[in-house]
Amino acid sequence: MNMTNLTLAIPDELHTKMKRHSDIRWSEVVRKSIAKKVEMLDIMDRIAQKSKLTQKDADEISHKIKKDIFEDLNKK
């Protein structure tokens, strides 16, 4: 299997904590996490492709949800 290298930046504090667990293969942890996220995005893409909603429909639903949340938060 061919592999591409990926460089990422992490906060120093996180790196210090990771070093305390040197037995962990952090690159494998990151690789699995990325693979899981991509799999979820692929599933979401497949669901969205089958959707009959238009962008306008989605925007209206989003607006209604945000409005309801705003109203609920103002009741408290």
* Tens-digit pLDDT profile for residues 63-73: 999 999 998 88
- 39-54 pLDDT, tens per residue? 999 998 998 888 888 8
The answer to whether residue 15 is domain-embedded is no
- Residue 45: give the domain boundaries: 35-76
The answer to whether residue 57 is domain-embedded is yes
pTM of the predicted protein model: 0.63
The amino acid that residue 33 corresponds to is: S
Total structural domains in the chain? 1
The answer to whether residue 39 is domain-embedded is yes
Which segments of 1-76 does DSSP mark as H helices, in order?
12-19, 26-50, 55-75
The answer to whether residue 63 is domain-embedded is yes
The answer to whether residue 9 is domain-embedded is no
Residues 25, 30, 32, 33, CA torsion sign = positive
